[in-house]
Amino acid sequence: MGQWIETVDVKEIDAEDVIRFDYENHTYAIYSNDKGEYFATDGYCPHQKVHLADGLVMGNIIECPKHNGRLDFTTGEAKRAPICHTIKTYPVKLEAGKLFIEITA
């Protein structure tokens, strides 16, 4: 059973957007897709140590800012080289205007 962590205010994130969230030596990326749904993954790109939050969201895809690798942030699946590995995803819920992610300790 995971632990729900409060992350960012929902107002801070637009549609088709991504935001960085750091918690206890770990970095996460919180996304909103084109339908206004929220998702979360680990914050660093699986290719190299680069923050995905500096990338570009297109639908359900995040494109990494360093080498333009792509991931589906709803499933964590790699969609374009040089990203070859999946990324860990986290459940997200919206409560009282705040986004929460469920992490496992």
The residues binding other proteins (CB under 8 A) are: 17, 48-49, 55-56, 58, 63, 65-68, 70, 80-82, 84
Please, what is the minimum distance in Å from the beta carbon of residue 97 to other proteins? 21
Positions in 45-104 near ligand FES (CB under 6 A): 45, 47-48, 50, 64, 66-67, 69, 82-83
Positions in 29-48 near ligand FES (CB under 6 A): 45, 47-48
Of the pair 41, 63, the CB lying nearest other proteins is at 63
- CB 71, CB 77: distance < 8 Å: yes
Of the pair 49, 88, the CB lying nearest other proteins is at 49
In the chain, what is the straight-line distance between the N-terminal and C-terminal CA atoms, in Å?
9
Strand ranges (E), the chain: 3-9, 17-23, 26-32, 38-42, 56-58, 61-63, 70-72, 78-80, 89-90, 92-95, 98-103
